[in-house]
Chain A
Amino acid sequence: MEPGRLQYSWISSAESTKFVDVVKQVTAAIKELGPNQTFLKTKAKVA
């Protein structure tokens, strides 16, 4: 997995603004990485 695709944060229930900031930051970072290309299942080959 690329660095940055998995992120951890500690946000208290009182920290609504931090929550918003983190969500914005994470979604932006993930959009930049694009769709995940690893751990994808290939379609079964059938005759």
Chain B
Amino acid sequence: MLSYIDKIKEISSRLLKDGTVDMIIGFRRGTMPMMNEPHFAKTAEDVDQLVWDSNCGLNLANYLTNRTEKIGIIAKGCDSRNIVTHIIENKIKREQLTVIGVPCKGMIDKRKINAMFDGEITQVTENGGTIVVTGEGFKKKLEKDAVLQQNCRLCIHRNPVIYDELVAEQVEEQQDIDRYEDIRKIEALSPKEKESYFDELFSACIRCYACRNACPLCYCPTCFVDESRPQWVGKSQDLSDVKTFHFLRAYHCAGRCTDCGSCERVCPVGINMRILTRKLEKDSFELFGWEAGLSLDVRPPLDTYKPDDPDDFIK
């Protein structure tokens, strides 16, 4: 995927120069290894800072909400699906956007890699399918496929859904992926076991709301957790409050989440809250045959009524 960057820079400079867009939203190198950060490029010098590698896991659609400029945005498969969701939800207009599509082969899991080494990692480079991790007194080659983020390993939409320019040939989509093996295991637990599972899962949560802030779906002007009149959710670290936050946030993402993995990626304590969003993604698919962000022309199941909507839960 490293080879993409020349093409990305070429397209970006062209779009900025001919005035098609006012800025390009992409990534630049972060201050720490494996931590690329969002970059808003408005000049030729800015474009030079753009990077593309396996550490571009954040979802750039997050930065489109209510923007009024003409924007060029670099989009992986998941970003493009969230761009579609943004357009459907009137958070941005299609005409404002020039989508620079990037066929994606997955992003690497910085948490997994960090856990493999005792000392601090000072540099991570990649070449094709190989990742080279360098740090204090160690240097090791890793297979990229072995250190992918879980959502990338399970991804079935690697190619952008909408794009105006594509930086490379489309990649082959992964076939025969069982996306919900872990979810089915949790579904099979008894209510009591589920309770202790979720207590354990969220016990480390510090309520920093990084997951919400990184999520392209979480654009409410006032989030329900910040609302104080009325105050819907307690502010404490009590697990009942913590779980209320996570459960409700997940429900707000039902039928919209594309499993881009930004929430889990930015979590400072490594909570896999995607367990919740993926359960709802699974339900959306099983009940409504719906996968979020695949088309601009179909309304999401939760904002339309169909006579054959499932209603077995109503007595």
Contact = CB atoms under 8 A, between A and B. Distances in A.
Contacts of B191: 1-3, 38
Interface in A1-47: 1-3, 7-10, 22, 38-42, 44
Which residue, of A2, A3, A39, has the highest number of chain B Cβ atoms within 10 A?
A: A39
Nearest to A18: B315
A39 to B, nearest CB: 5
Given A10-B314, A41-B236, 16 more contacts: A1-B191, A3-B191, A7-B315, A8-B313, A8-B315, A9-B314, A9-B315, A10-B315, A22-B315, A38-B191, A39-B243, A39-B244, A40-B240, A41-B234, A41-B241, A42-B238
Contacts of A1: 191
B283 interface: no
Interface residues of B, number: 12
A34 to B, nearest CB: 13
B315 A41 contact: no
Interface of A: 1-3, 7-10, 22, 38-42, 44
Contacts of A10: 314-315
Given A1-B191, A41-B238, A42-B238, A8 B314 contact: yes
Interface string B174-199: 00000000000000000100010000
A39 B314 contact: no
B314 A41 contact: no
Contact of A39 (B240, B313, B315): B240
A41 B240 contact: yes
Top 7 closest A-B pairs, CB basis? A8-B314, A39-B240, A2-B191, A9-B315, A41-B240, A41-B238, A10-B314
B177 to A, nearest CB: 30
Contacts of B313: 8
Contacts of B236: 41, 44
Interface string B241-252: 101100000000
Contacts of B244: 39
A41 to B, nearest CB: 5
Interface string B205-249: 000000000000000000000000000001010101101100000
Interface string B139-183: 000000000000000000000000000000000000000000000
A42 B240 CA distance: 9
Contacts of A38: 191, 195
Nearest to B195: A38
A41 B242 CA distance: 11
A31 B269 CA distance: 40
17 contacts: A2-B191, A3-B191, A7-B315, A8-B313, A8-B314, A9-B314, A10-B314, A10-B315, A22-B315, A38-B191, A38-B195, A39-B240, A40-B240, A41-B236, A41-B238, A41-B241, A44-B236
A23 to B, nearest CB: 12
A26 B195 CA distance: 23
A22 B313 CA distance: 14
Nearest to B314: A8
Interface in B262-303: none
A10 B311 CA distance: 10
Contacts of A9: 314-315
A9 B241 CA distance: 28
Nearest to B190: A2
